[in-house]
Amino acid sequence: MNRHHSEGSGQPAETPPTGVDLLYDPRWNKGTGFTERERDELHIRGLIPPRMFSQEEQARRILGNFHRKGSDLDKYIFMIGLQDRNQTLFYSIVIDNIEEMAPIIYTPTVGEACQNFAHIFRRAKGLYVTAHDRGRVADLLRNWPERDVAVIVVSDGERILGLGDLGAGGMGIPNGKLSLYTACAGIHPWRCLPVLLDVGTDNEAIRNDPLYLGINQPRLRGQEYDDLVEEFMMGVREVFPGALIQFEDFATRNAVRLLDRYRTRMCAFNDDIQGTAAVTLAGLLSAARITQQGLLDQTIVFLGAGSAATGIGHLIVSAMQREGLSREEALVHVWFVDSKGLVVKSRDDLAEHKRPFAHECEFLPDLLSVVRELHPTTLIGVSGQPGTFTEPVVKAMADANERPVILALSNPTSRAECTAEQAYRWTGGRAVFASGSPFGPVEVDGKTCVPGQGNNVYIFPGLGLGVVASGARFVTDDMFLTAAKVLAQLVTEESLAQGSIYPPLTQIREVSAEIAAAVARLAQEQGLATREVPRDALAFVKAQMYEPVYESYV
């Protein structure tokens, strides 16, 4: 895909600015990479050092400086600064060093960046829609300089990773997610729009910070909140028709109902609910190849019963139904433990989204008693509560299973229910372990165990590419089921032998392309595609993937 225009956009190739404007535009700037002819014809001779460096030479300079930074947050600030200066170089470095860069530009470091957002702020990126913008949201959207927007990631900052309400500091999440859309699936950076719905914050410590960047008021609630979201969504339909909207890090109270409200009206999904569900289901399907137990042989216990957890539960139930179970039969395999204990029908304090998973059985007050009573094959943590997969809990899993499956998915790393080393040591290396944030390999009794990372980056970029490439009108649950199955199929026997239930992150662009092709085909089969998907869907989506390579401007 040519970096100067969007494939299928109907827009002519743009031409770069000239002079100093060119050097201050990250979309076009190549720094010392401009040729002699470009320096003359674009009127930048003398404005940059005289020696020309190749993109590869520039990358070596950047990586040298990157590795000299003293902390991950410093590395984050350094890389975001590069993104603000030279997008092409930024994305080429991220793609070529994805295992090292992904934890810096996104989880876990992005959580720390959001917490410190007001203090590390350098340059505005994205669009802020505030509670004071009612009645003019569409006009505000038109202020965005690009018209051909393909993907919008929007957050209201209320539930940032496992860190809670960070208000306007949550803008780091849409920016980080969209960087991964580009790096991992080739969605052109010009076609990505990060949005923060700034409706205030209930975090008093943030509001009392004199450098806080957002509106200083308690969170908007009720009908006023809903009216602002509705105006935003309708504004997107008007200004950026057909754009894919990804809801990100909304609190459970809003996440579930906003998804239900808009999923059949617009091309929209919630990554915390549906993307997390798909990557978790893929992990279960991969783990089954290690444990030699099918999906229908599983008894799954969740610690945490928020929107992400129940979203996973619903997708697992759907997958089991496709293997022949009724919904009622499938629900028997899925159990939830919340802050009060086991989710059962006798409880009168259950939120609506938990009730489908309430069982007719005796109440149990804590996770350990649940594991000892139910003997689950799989334990999934989506609680945001660190250390809750204790040694007794993990050992109880090992007592009940030859290869217990333990997925500690809470982000960032500081919120993980247990570490990889704990899971492996407490089970004598028998656990099949994956986490939301990365952990390194662990050696147990002379065997090296390589934990997988159940990172949504394996799902949402590829799914988004498939939706964009096909022009799908809606995002369906079948697309997430398809994405999960494709991802599981891409895990090699070599990875499984090391205990890893996800492909190496170094393969992410190929993984995304395969998922995109499958999603695009499905969109056409379901009558949702507005663009023709050719027989070779893989070549079709690959042709639309942005490649961050310097091109000649003259």
Catalytic residues, by residue number, are: 106, 177
Q: Distance (Å, rounded) from C-alpha 412 to C-alpha 505?
A: 18
> 61 — phi, psi (to 5°)?
-65, -45
Amino acid at 506: T
Altogether, the residues listed in the chain come to a count of 554
Q: Are strands 378-381 and 452-453 parallel, antiparallel or unpaired?
A: unpaired
Q: Which helix (H) or strand (E) holds 271?
A: none
515-542 core/surface letters (b: 16 or more CB in 10 A; e: else): bbbbbbbbbbeeebbeeebeeebbebbb
Q: Cα–chain-centroid distance for residue 62?
A: 26
Q: Distance (Å, rounded) from C-alpha 136 to C-alpha 232?
A: 9
Phi-psi bin for 429: left (phi > 0), alpha (psi -120 to 50), beta?
A: left
Compute the radius of gyration of the chain from its Cα atoms.
Answer: 24
Amino acid at 392: P
Nearest to 297 by CA among 314, 312, 284: 284
Yes or no: say if 162 and 442 are a contact pair by the CB < 8 Å rule: no
Please report the sign of the dihedral spanned by the C-alpha atoms of residue 463, residue 467, residue 473, residue 478.
negative
State the CB neighbour count (10 A cutoff) for residue 212. 19
Tokens encoding 357: 């998973």
Yes or no: say if 480 and 279 are a contact pair by the CB < 8 Å rule: no
Q: Distance (Å, rounded) from C-alpha 466 to C-alpha 456?
A: 16
